[in-house]
Amino acid sequence: MNLPRTNSLKQLHSEIITCARCPRLRAYCAEVGQTRVRRYRDQEYWARPVPGFGDPEARLLILGLAPGAHGANRTGRMFTGDDSGRWLYGALYEAGFANQPESVSRDDSLRLTGAYISNVVRCAPPDNKPAAAELAACRPYLEAELALLTRVRVVLALGRIAFDSYVRIRRAQGYDLGRPAFKHGAEYHWPGLPVLLCSYHPSRQNTNTGVLTPAMWRDVFVRARALVDGLD
């Protein structure tokens, strides 16, 4: 599938928001937005594809899986309005990439400096499991972001699917990556590419079970900050 025809993040965001490539995902997002859950019954859901968010001059690119059904699918901003976002924005604030430690809506005063957040899928998938065809349909948007975010020096992949998607793109571009394996805390240095840093995703499945602890999470962002600063 061809890359989006855009030469700016603003244009790319507009194209993402109106995307209808995956009927299953569009139908699911719309259904969630209509039925809602009790605690958000009085809120209007975004219920559309969610564009990336952050600093166009970012040195750090954070790559997650997909919008949360009652998080970004509700608020319209990446990692905003759910527990994963609480973990992420708290860490970004501590590491000096965000001006505040929380994000509750796309209209709040949150700003990122030196960081940009994206997902490999832009619509919330049922059971948080996008199909292979849906991952492929969304991949050109990430390829376009990688081309537009020219100052990125570190890519932080949150989870195996984000890791695999990024590696697939770089291999398709002709880079010889060897045989990298996803592992929390692993990092890969390849000529001509940003450093790839790996972390478990801050989903409840990981944070509530101790698979990802606050100390582990904090260490990832300490390392990301050091890599970004060391490459400036």
Alpha-carbon gap, residue 116 to 57, rounded angstroms: 8
Q: Are 104 and 74 in contact (CB under 8 A)?
A: no
Cβ atoms within 10 Å, residue 146: 20
pLDDT of the residue at 7? 76
Mean pLDDT of the chain: 95
| 132-181 pLDDT, tens digit each | 999 999 999 999 999 999 999 999 999 999 999 999 999 999 999 999 99
Domain boundary assignment for the chain: 9-43+55-231
Q: 151 is written with which tokens?
A: 């100052």
Please report, for residues 33, 171, 195, the alpha-carbon distance to residue 209 in angstroms, rounded to integers and kept in the order given. 29, 34, 29
Run of H or E including 150 = none
Cβ atoms within 10 Å, residue 10: 10
Alpha-carbon gap, residue 91 to 171, rounded angstroms: 30
Q: Are 146 and 153 in contact (CB under 8 A)?
A: no
| 18-61 pLDDT, tens digit each | 999 999 999 999 999 999 999 999 999 999 999 999 999 999 99
Residue 231 has pLDDT above 90, yes or no: no
Q: 139 is written with which tokens?
A: 């991949």
Band of pLDDT at residue 217, cut at 50, 70 and 90: very high
Band of pLDDT at residue 3, cut at 50, 70 and 90: low
pTM of the entire predicted model? 0.95
> Shortest CA distance to 228 belongs to which of 130, 56, 113?
113
CATH no., domain 9-43+55-231: 3.40.470.10
Q: Report the Cα–Cα distance between both ends of the chain, in Å, rounded.
A: 34
| 78-104 pLDDT, tens digit each | 999 999 999 999 999 999 999 999 999
Q: Are 1 and 137 in contact (CB under 8 A)?
A: yes
Backbone angles phi, psi at 156, to 5 degrees: -105, 110
Q: Are 142 and 49 in contact (CB under 8 A)?
A: no
Residue 4 has pLDDT above 80, yes or no: no
pLDDT of the residue at 232? 46
Residue 196 has pLDDT above 90, yes or no: yes
Q: 232 is written with which tokens?
A: 């400036």
Q: 184 is written with which tokens?
A: 């929390």
DSSP code, position 127: G
